[in-house]
Structure 1
Amino acid sequence: MKEAIKYMIISALAFTFMNAFVKSLDHFSVYQIVFFRSIGSLFFTMPFLLKNKISLLGNKKGLLIMRSIFGLISMTLFFLSIKYIAMGTAVSIRYIGPIFAAFFALLFLNEKIKPIQWLFFLIAFIGVLVLKGFDTDMEIKGIVFALISAVFVGLVYITIRKIGSGDHPVVVVNYFMIISAVIGGVLAINDWVNPVGKEWLVLLSLGVFGYFAQLYMTKAMQAGETNQVAPLKYLEVIFTMIIGLFWFGEIYTVWSVLGILLIVLGLTLNVVTKKK
C-alpha cells in the first residue's frame, strides 16, 4: 500500500506540473500546446511499441480512432478552460468525467448504478453549481469548457471499455498521441508562435509529465486496492490549487473551495462505494 501511495503522489505531482506549464504558456494557442503535449509522449510510446514488436496499427482501429478523437476534444477543451478559470477549479470539474461515464455505461453497456451512487453524483454536481452560482468572479466560458471536457472524458472511458483487452494499452495511447499531434499541428498553423529558448523545453516537457503521470497512476492501481488508492488521485486538485495560489496568484473564494470540496467528496464516495 505504501508503494501505491508513493506512485499516486508522483502521478498527481506530474499532472499538476503539466497543468501549471499549460497555464504558463498562455501566449501559445491551445492547438500548439496540444501538438507539443502529444509529440512529447510519442518519444516514449513509439520506441516501446517498436522495441516490443507490437503492431502500431492495432486491432480495433475504428474504436482506437474514436477514443483518440474523444480524448483530443477533451484535452483541448480542458487546456482551454485553464486559460479562463483557476487550475484547481478546472481540474475538479474535469474529474466528474466518471459520472458521465456511468451514465453512458448505463445507456450503452447496460451496466447498473447503485442507488446510493446517484446521491454521490448529485453531491458532485451541486459542487459545480456552487462554483458557478456563488463565485461571481468566475468566467462561465471556462466552466462550460471544463464541463464539456468532462463529458468527453466519460466517452473516452466507455470507448476504452469497448476496446477491452483487444489492444495493448500503449497502442491506445499511441493512437491518441499521433492523432492529437496531427490534428493539433494542422490547426495550430495559422496562429503558430515560434518557441524561444526555454519555451522549447517547457512545451516538450508537457508530454513527459503527461506520460509519467499516466504511468505511475497505472502502477498505483496495480500495487494497491482500487477503492483505497483511486481517491488519492484527487491529490492533483490540492497540489494544483497550491501551485496556482503561489505561482499564478490564483484566488479561491470560500464558495469555490466549498464547490471543489463537494465535487471531490461526491467522487471519492462514488469510487469507494462502487469498488466495494
Structure 2
Amino acid sequence: MTRPDAVMPPMVPFLSAGFARLTPNLRGAVWMIASAVCFTVMTVLVKRLAGYSPPLQLFFSQLAVVIGLTPTLIRKPGVLGSGQLMLLFGRAMTAVAGVLLSYYSFQELPLADANALSFTRALWMAPLGVVLLGERVGPGRAAALIAGFIGVLVVVNPSAQTEVGWPHAAAIGSALLFALTVVSIKLLAKQHGTFSLLCWSSILGFLLSIPPAILVWTWPTPGDAALFVVMGAASVGAQACYIKGMTCGNSVALAPLDYLRLIFAVIIGVCFFNEVPTLSMVAGGALIIVSTVSITLWEARTRSGHP
C-alpha cells in the first residue's frame, strides 16, 4: 500500500526542517488550510470558466491531471494495483456524477451558498453507513442529523423571494454522491493506498467525462486552457492536502478546519463576484457546521468506547 506521504512531493529543504519540528496537529492544520485554499481556487475557477459546461470543465481539468500523473505511472505502474476493479469503476461513476452536479451548483449559486450545502456530505454519510456498512445511529447522532438538514432548509430558504430550483438540488445531490464515494473508501482501503485511489479516480474520471464532453464540445482559448490546468492541479491538491492533513494529526481536532472553505468562499464572493451572503445562508451554514462537528465528535467518542 502506498504511504500517505507519497501523495505530495517533498518540500524545499529549508522549509522541511522547520515544518518537521511542528507538532503533528500543527502540521495537519497547515495541510488542512492548504486543502481549503486549493478547494477555493478550484471553485473560483469553476465560476470563472462558467462559459464552459460542467462536462467540458471536468474533461479539461482531468486531462491536465492525467497528463501530470503519466510520468509517475510510467515509472511505477504497480502503484495502481489491480483489485476491486468493479468497485473502483462504480466509485468513479459516482464521483463523476457528483463533480458534474457540484460544478453546476458552483456556477449557478453564490460561492458561499454552494459551499454551505456541500458540507451536507457528512450528514449523508450517517444514513449511508447504516445501509451499506451496518452502522448504528444513536439518539444524539440522529438529533445532530435532523439539525443539519434543518440547516439545509434554512440555507435554501424556500419561503424567500429568491428562486429555489435545480442548482440547490444539484448541490445537495452532489454532497450525497460524494458521501457515497467516501463510504466506498472504507471498502477499497484494504487493497489501495491514497495515491492509488487518487490515480484511479483521475484516470477513470477523465475517461468517463469524454462522452458528455463530446456532446457539448468547445475548444478552450489558450488562456482558458491554462486556467483548466490550474483547476485540475487545485482539485488534486485539495484532495491530497486533506488526506495528508487528516493522517498527520488528530482527525477530530483537524476536521473543523475544513470549514475554512466557507469563510474563504464568503470573502472571495464579496470581493470578486459581488455576492453578499444572506442572513439565511449564515444561519443555515452555521447550523450545518455545528451538526457535522457534533457528528464527528460523537463518532470519535464511539470509537474510543465512550458512548
Task: Give the TM-score, by structure 2 length.
Answer: 0.85
1:69 aligns with 2:97: no
1:249, 1:224 → 2: CA distance? 37
1:243 aligns with 2:268: yes
From 126, 138, 141, the equivalent of 1:102 is 126
With 140-149 and 51-60 compared, the bigger mean Cα shift is at 51-60
Partner of 1:185 in structure 2? Answer: 210
From 92, 95, 101, the equivalent of 2:116 is 92
Partner of 2:105 in structure 1? Answer: 81
2:90, 2:225 → 1: CA distance? 30
Q: Following TM superposition, by how much is the alpha carbon of 1:140 offset from its aligned partner in structure 2, in angstroms?
A: 1.9
2:300, 2:76 → 1: CA distance? 33
1:214, 1:46 → 2: CA distance? 18
Partner of 2:39 in structure 1? Answer: 15
1:275, 1:40 → 2: CA distance? 37
Q: CA 1:244/1:58 → structure 2, altered by over 3 Å: closer, same or farther?
A: farther
1:93, 1:138 → 2: CA distance? 16
From 195, 202, 207, the equivalent of 2:232 is 207
Partner of 2:9 in structure 1? Answer: none
1:28, 1:116 → 2: CA distance? 44
- Which runs of 5 or more structure 2 residues have no equivalent in the other structure? 1-24, 302-307
Instruction: Return structure 1 stretches of 4+ with deviation > 6 angstroms.
Output: none
Is contact 2:246–2:255 with CA below 8 Å preserved after alignment? yes
Q: Following TM superposition, by how much is the alpha carbon of 1:71 offset from its aligned partner in structure 2, in angstroms?
A: 0.5
1:169, 1:43 → 2: CA distance? 19
Partner of 1:216 in structure 2? Answer: 241
CA offsets, 1:26-46, max 9 Å, x none? Answer: 110110001122122224444
Q: CA 1:275/1:195 → structure 2, altered by over 3 Å: closer, same or farther?
A: same
Is contact 2:116–2:281 with CA below 8 Å preserved after alignment? no
Alignment of 1:40-79 (within 5 A): 40-56=64-80, 58-79=82-103
CA offsets, 1:43-70, max 9 Å, x none? Answer: 4444334333425462110100011011
2:151, 2:247 → 1: CA distance? 30
Please say which structure displays the higher CA radius of gyration. 2
Percent identical residues: 24
2:68, 2:186 → 1: CA distance? 24
Is contact 1:120–1:266 with CA below 8 Å preserved after alignment? yes
Is contact 1:31–1:184 with CA below 8 Å preserved after alignment? yes
Name the SS of the counterpart of 1:80 in structure 2. Answer: helix
1:115 aligns with 2:155: no
Q: Following TM superposition, by how much is the alpha carbon of 1:119 offset from its aligned partner in structure 2, in angstroms?
A: 1.4
- Which runs of 5 or more structure 1 residues have no equivalent in the other structure? none
Q: CA 1:26/1:171 → structure 2, altered by over 3 Å: closer, same or farther?
A: same
How many pairs were matched up?
A: 276
Q: CA 1:269/1:138 → structure 2, altered by over 3 Å: closer, same or farther?
A: farther
Q: Following TM superposition, by how much is the alpha carbon of 1:172 offset from its aligned partner in structure 2, in angstroms?
A: 2.0
Q: CA 1:170/1:58 → structure 2, altered by over 3 Å: closer, same or farther?
A: farther
Which residue identity does 2:228 align to in structure 1?
L
Q: Root-mean-square deviation (CA), in Å?
A: 1.7
Q: Following TM superposition, by how much is the alpha carbon of 1:204 offset from its aligned partner in structure 2, in angstroms?
A: 1.3
With 6-15 and 196-205 compared, the bigger mean Cα shift is at 196-205
Q: Following TM superposition, by how much is the alpha carbon of 1:157 offset from its aligned partner in structure 2, in angstroms?
A: 1.6
Is contact 1:45–1:170 with CA below 8 Å preserved after alignment? no
Partner of 2:285 in structure 1? Answer: 260
